[in-house]
Every structure is written in C-alpha cells, then in structure tokens.
Structure 1
Amino acid sequence: MYENILVPTDGSEGANMAAEHALGIAGTYGATVHVLYVVDVRMSPISTDMDREEVVQLLEQSGGTPTTPVLQRAEGTDVPATEAIRLGVPHETIHEYVDEEDINLVVMGTHGRTGLERTLLGSTTERVVRTVDTPVMTVPLSGD
C-alpha cells in the first residue's frame, strides 16, 4: 500500500509529531520515509543561485537542517530514510517532490511555524491537501 512516505519538515513541533507517525506507518508497511525541507525562497536570505551543497553548508553552520532530528529518529528503527533539501515555494515544491519520487502518502503536521509568516502565507499543509493527488495525513500537535 505504502512504499514511499513523505514528511515535509520545517523543524517545528508539529512537523516532528508528523514524523513520529510517518515512521510508525513506514515500519508497518516496510516503506521508505522521505524527509524534505524546503528553503522558502520568498522568506529566506539564501540566494536562489546557490546550489544544494552550498545551502546545506550554510544551514549546518547556522545550527543544522530541520531534517536532522527526523533522520536521527529513523536511525533508531528499521525504517529506511532519505533526505532532500530544496529551494522553492514550500507547497509547490512538496507537490513537485510527490510527483518526482512516486510518493504514496504525505504526513504533515497541522501546525508549522506560526505567527505573522503563517498569517501572510496561509497554511502550507492546507495548500498541499488541496493540490496533491496523493493521500495526505495531517497530525495535530497533540499527536492523537
């Protein structure tokens, strides 16, 4: 049923809760978890001219990438996990990744980063739910 499960992460508590659920589902179905961090080009000082390696290096110098905690959790399981870091508009980039990597399920938190940024941009999760043709599981902060 599920071979490739995508967990988009922004490093928030909501994304981490979603990752826990994704790892559990992947363990049950023998799926691979894809951990995706999208550097939002609209909000980031990172140049779109930078290549992926330059972006990763810059992120690691500033404290690491939001994918690291999810990958570390996966290491303690039998679940294979792969990392992807992309530049773009989050919901559009997630949609592209779903199509490119033949994703069967997207697992996302209902709450990511909040505040003014969310108010201005709307919910990435909501936009993904409305635009992808793949099932999307949303996980509330309570994790239930």
Structure 2
Amino acid sequence: MYQHVLLVTDLRDDTDLVAAKAKWILDASPSAELSVLHIVEETMLGFGYELIPAAALHESIDDERCQEARSRLAQVLARNDLHAHSVNIKTAISGRKGIVDYCDKHTIDLVVIGRHKRTGLNAWLTGATADSILPDIDSDLLVVQLAAE
C-alpha cells in the first residue's frame, strides 16, 4: 500500500489520462495522501556566454505562468475527482530538476507521470522527463504512455 503518491503533470491535453491512473492507485490505497506537482520552466536570460534565471532580476517574471498553471491544475483535479493533500506549482531550470528536487525533499512512495512517445531527432534531442528522473528518485514510478507529440 502506498502512503504518499505524487502526480506529476505537464497540464497538456492528455493530463486526464495520467490523473485517471493516479485516481485508480488512490482508490486502491484509501489511506494514501496525494500531492500534485507541475513544473514551470524558468525563463532564462542570456548575458554573453552565461544564462541566468530571469527571476533573479525580477521576482514576478514567471508569476503569470504559475497563476495560469494553478487555475488549470484546479480544473484537472475537479474533473478527475482528485483531492490533493498538497498542490505545488514550482519553477525550476528543467522539469527533471524540479521533480527530482521535490522527491528529495518529500517522502514519496509512488510517482505517477506521463510519457509522450518521441521518435527521430526529437527523441534524441529532448528525451523524456520520465526517463531522465528514473535513476535519481528512490520511489516507485508509474509511467503512463501517451500519444506522440
């Protein structure tokens, strides 16, 4: 039985498929807590050869994107009848870094995440976040295979 389930979402159109799998797990583990995580990738600014997060210059630079994500996430939870113990919108340099950092700071038994099929050059250049977090988290991982991007 899982005690703490983390639903990671990118809030794309197929988010409900991933949320449905999390609901299925939670229905089987009624005492489990649900946390939800969405990563907003930081806006980066280039200065010569260096990149710095725009938030270092102006704190509210990513606020609008975070507020929009918070609203969309509330809709996803309502549509899927999910009751989260914790809803988190975090900014990070990458989705991978944000997820790994969150898992390091919290006791997570299971991460539920979607994985879009990628082929060709797109697969080689960007890879999949679900694949990249696997070596760096200690919890179980439920990957929901989604359609190609």
The normalised TM-score by structure 1 is: 0.73
- Point out where structure 1 has 5 or more consecutive residues left out of the alignment: none
**Aligned residue in 2 for 1:37:** 38
CA contact (8 A) 1:13 1:112 kept: no
- Quote the Cα distance in structure 2 between the aligned partners of 1:113 and 1:68: 28
Structure 2, unaligned runs of 5 or more: 46-52
Q: Is 1:48 the counterpart of 2:73 in the alignment?
A: no
**How far apart are the structure 2 equivalents of 1:11 and 1:109?**
10
Which of 1 and 2 has greater Rg? 2
Q: RMSD across aligned C-alpha pairs, in angstroms?
A: 3.3
Q: Does 1:107 align with 2:112?
A: yes
- Give the count of matched residue pairs: 135
CA contact (8 A) 1:14 1:140 kept: no
Give matches, 1:1-144, under 5 Å.
1-30=1-30, 31-41=32-42, 47-49=54-56, 55-56=62-63, 58-59=64-65, 64-65=68-69, 66-73=72-79, 76=81, 79-88=83-92, 89-111=94-116, 120-141=125-146
For normalisation by structure 2, the TM-score amounts to 0.71
Higher RCO (C-alpha under 8 Å, 6+ residues apart) = 1
Task: Return closer, same or farther for 1:108/1:60 CA change in 2, 3 Å cut-off.
Answer: closer
Greater strand content: 2
Asked whether the equivalents of residues 43 and 54 of structure 2 are also in contact (C-alpha less than 8 Å), the reply is: no
